[in-house]
Structure 1
């Protein structure tokens, strides 16, 4: 069984120092440490990467394709001929409204779980996951999830292709690998800003804030949502820790340090498991 890696050597510009996992988070790793972390065993030059987790303690793991030296306690044997996919074609698969609804409900359910419950869920999924080994590569197309950014619903998950699962991310867990991809965002609403033609919901988790943007395309697709965002401010002023869940596209913010999340349609986000139309109806009674 592999030994957990809880510390790493930071080497850059002549500086060498040991770092514990607890001293790093996703933001500092991507900004300062990525590509400069190495195994702590003397003479072992295997690079390490930081892995952030919300359901278990974060940890270091060996950089892909790097190997530890013979006498290193972190040395392991790589399994050859594991299943490989030769993706000759990439097919864009749009998400059906039903899958969006299910993803948002599941995200809200996860937001209500304790750390212990999340850990039990992770262990159960790992037990149910079957290990497979395949020799050679199987040729098939790669399925890429995309959002339908206008009202044209044709071609949604067509041809019997359901597409990959929608990956869920807490607001503090977004990273560069999510940029340009469709994700389900989870976090607490910190603030809301709005005009007649745009809105921004600031979603926070731990020490990270993500701007969730509703731009011109959103109001073109969902005109009934114009003039309703002030109800969100009213609601968060009355409630404690209001949960936002949304299906959208991750972008890098203009300052280059943070991430943005863009929602294109009214059925792609919820406020404490309610649509904005439901929330507006609640206050209009």
Structure 2
């Protein structure tokens, strides 16, 4: 990737500060049941805060925001922070423009970098649950070291694969602002588990499409993509399909339990965003009754 643009100022670096799990998750968009798939396996990569699967729906405990650390960052840690801040800055430019076309103002999310464990507006989280977006505080949470090891384990290597992960989580923030997450919550509240899972799949596939939309628009404006980047992104999308994760977990493939979509679906919607680059093309809710579409 070629990232020459400014870094986002909306990065909160908590690395080296420790974590803690003083609160339970609060209200927000609930992620559906996972059937026979292990929660950790399916949440290892991409998606809304996995603590929403495990919590009991009780009221959130107020959290005290952690202050920025004053430690001297290592060169690798600083390089990781800079990369994440530059990718976030690119997403801000694209989504501000897209929202402006809708006559709306885009509210930037905050990207929280942490190590090991931290507190979010949705409760406590550990690195092992992977990157996630918390609608309650409108923040994306990522442990960069764990994300890198996860990419290695899943064979989703490359800087653009990492950028895709960040852009996918920012896609959930876009959905939150557009009212998609709220609609999905209402629809799932009226559905059984299998139908609720299918709705959640639509949410995740749309975030994949939004990640592709971001990449196309940023590249058209600032030529951020280099040879091999698109292949890295498509490979990452394929690596985190529910069918592939279920096979790797040692179980049989159960489409009725999918909550993120198959590898083929994730690749198709990411590619749709890359090829079309417009919001209308990312309507994964097409085919539902008019009252149940964003």
- TM norm. shorter chain > 0.5: no
| Structure with more helix by fraction | 2
Which structure has the larger Rg? 1
TM-score (normalizing by structure 2): 0.22
| Structure with more strand by fraction | 1
TM-score (normalizing by structure 1): 0.23
